[in-house]
Amino acid sequence: MRPCVLIGLCLLAGCHFNSGGGNGVDSGSPGSDGAPGSDGAPPDAPRDAAAIDAPPAQACIGKDDGTRLCDGKFAAHCQGQVVIYDRPCPIASLCLAGVCQAPPASSLCQAPSQCIGGQLCTPFITLGQPDLRCATADSAAGTGATLGLCSSGSQCRTGICTADGHCFGTCGDASDCPERNSECRNIVITIDGTTTVARGCGASL
């Protein structure tokens, strides 16, 4: 068969000739029309948004336990070279160095009754000290109310789970505590890696 006939048939079949010389045929590289390459992926395919926002899987590899870090709105830390999520920062609170910051212009509080519009009296750490502020829980926050059972802060509305496994809630006096056999007293809590004492509801001693 004549060479010109072969070339004509190949063109009809959609072959691409190697412009670098030789008689090889290149059918895998993407063309100018955006056809898939040899790996089946469209050229310039956008990366998955979750993969862009998430920290690398090895974020804690080689890091000491307790190292603080942020994953978007989540305050987290390293434990056994694994990322452990502590809590989603409340709305308008930024996560910096693994610590939720008190929202700008937020009001000081001692009890939920001092906050309005569905806000909670939420613990933050400022200059190493507990800082109670009215803040709106993020939609990713847990549903646990004051004294609800928990194993991590991410299960609680305030983002804090006490050492005895109850969701922390602030109080000014016993009337702020939801259960009959509870009282308002000093509670040892850990806020984004800092262990401190704050006034909160606890089971009666």
Helix (H) or strand (E) holding 12: helix 3-12
**Structural domain range at position 67:** 51-203
Q: Looking at the domain assignment, is residue 174 inside a domain? A: yes
Between CA 129 and CA 195 the distance in angstroms is 9
Residue 123 lies in a domain: yes
Quote the pLDDT of residue 120: 95
Whether 42 is covered by a domain: the verdict is no
Q: 118 in a domain, yes or no?
A: yes
- Contact in structure between 185 and 197 (CB atoms under 8 Å): no
User: Does residue 198 lie in a domain region?
Assistant: yes
Domain total in the chain: 1
Q: Is residue 5 part of a domain?
A: no
Q: What is the pLDDT along the chain (205 residues), one digit of tens a residue?
A: 444 444 444 444 444 444 444 444 343 333 334 333 333 333 333 333 333 344 556 789 999 999 999 999 999 999 999 999 999 999 999 999 999 999 999 999 999 999 999 999 999 999 989 999 999 999 999 999 999 999 999 999 999 999 999 999 999 999 999 877 899 999 999 999 999 999 999 988 7
Sequence-ordered alpha helix ranges (H) in 20-178: 49-53
Sort 132 into a burial class: Cβ within 10 Å, 0-12 / 13-18 / 19+: buried
pLDDT at 77: 94
Dig out the tokens for 19 from the structure. Answer: 């412009």
DSSP string, 23-39: S-B--SS--TT----TT
Residue 191: strand, helix, or coil: strand
Residue 19 lies in a domain: no
Considering the domain boundaries, does residue 142 fall inside one?
yes
